């Protein structure tokens, strides 16, 4: 337990890293909202499917809200973990004997170990965000495929003119009606 407390005991920098993580997650959530909306509108205009524009906007807004909620929840979970770890290590360091003072090399080792742990958390966070972006991307193409195969037709700009003759319908008994009248 003493070695664990020495490994992660860097209490003053915890609040700064916690606030920076919350700020980065907030900006990434906003960026994901704008990117998902612009990407869905751009792809739907390029593929020229009229009903999928509204469907893609709805899906992008829904999934971006879900992604922003996910980032905020993950930020709160990580901040609570950091707070609990800092409280635990402050209690462990207060219970250390007086002759076990930390020198500069041990303090430097604590800095590197703690930042490697934060780097690991950031890698997990970006991996999960990358997975969510790909989920949104492929779900968007699945919605386009469903909209194309379910009877929706493209816009009139991409349709070729038909070669069939247009025949005006006439009643079948028009000649019989004229003959009886005479």
pLDDT at 9: 47
**What is the chain's mean pLDDT, rounded?**
56
Would you mind telling me the total number of residues written for the chain in this entry?
182
Q: Please check whether residue 36 is in contact with residue 60, taking contact to mean a CB–CB distance below 8 angstroms.
A: yes
**Domain annotation covers residue 178:** no
Among 143, 150, 139, 142, CA closest to 54: 143
pLDDT at 157: 46
Q: How many CB atoms lie within 10 A of CB 122?
A: 13
**Domain annotation covers residue 75:** yes
Both structure tokens of 161: 């003119």
Both structure tokens of 65: 């809200």
**Domain annotation covers residue 17:** yes
DSSP letter at 151 equals T
Q: Please check whether residue 29 is in contact with residue 68, taking contact to mean a CB–CB distance below 8 angstroms.
A: yes
pLDDT at 5: 42
- Backbone phi, psi, residue 151, to 5°: 105, -5
**Domain annotation covers residue 7:** yes
Number of domains in the chain: 1
**Domain annotation covers residue 19:** yes
Q: For residue range 57-110, what is the model confidence (pLDDT) as tens digits?
A: 566 666 666 665 666 556 556 655 655 555 555 555 555 444 444 554 455 445
Give this prediction's pTM.
0.28
pLDDT at 166: 52
pLDDT at 2: 40
Q: At what angle are helices 14-47 and 104-149 packed, to 10 degrees?
A: 20
Q: Please check whether residue 71 is in contact with residue 25, taking contact to mean a CB–CB distance below 8 angstroms.
A: yes
Q: Please check whether residue 66 is in contact with residue 135, taking contact to mean a CB–CB distance below 8 angstroms.
A: no
Residue 11: pLDDT band (50, 70, 90) is very low
Q: List the domain range (segments joined by +) for residue 32.
A: 2-159
pLDDT at 100: 47
**Range list of H helices, the chain:** 2-8, 14-47, 50-94, 104-149, 174-181
**Domain annotation covers residue 177:** no
**Domain annotation covers residue 103:** yes
**Domain annotation covers residue 181:** no
């Amino acid at each position: 337990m003493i070695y664990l407390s020495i490994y992660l005991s860097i209490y003053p920098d915890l609040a700064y890293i916690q606030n920076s993580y919350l700020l980065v997650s907030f900006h990434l959530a906003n960026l994901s909202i704008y990117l998902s909306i612009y990407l869905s509108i751009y792809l739907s205009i390029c593929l020229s499917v009229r009903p999928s524009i509204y469907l893609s906007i709805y899906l992008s807004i829904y999934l971006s809200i879900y992604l922003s909620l996910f980032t905020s929840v993950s930020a709160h979970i990580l901040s609570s973990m950091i707070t609990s770890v800092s409280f635990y290590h402050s209690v462990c360091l207060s219970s250390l004997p007086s002759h076990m003072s930390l020198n500069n090399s041990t303090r430097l080792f604590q800095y590197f170990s703690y930042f490697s742990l934060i780097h690991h958390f950031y890698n997990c966070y970006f991996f999960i965000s990358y997975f969510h972006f790909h989920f949104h991307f492929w779900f968007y193409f699945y919605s386009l495929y469903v909209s194309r195969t379910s009877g929706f037709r493209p816009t009139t700009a991409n349709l070729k003119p038909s070669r069939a003759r247009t025949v005006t319908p006439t009643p079948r008994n028009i000649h019989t009606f004229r003959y009886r009248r005479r």
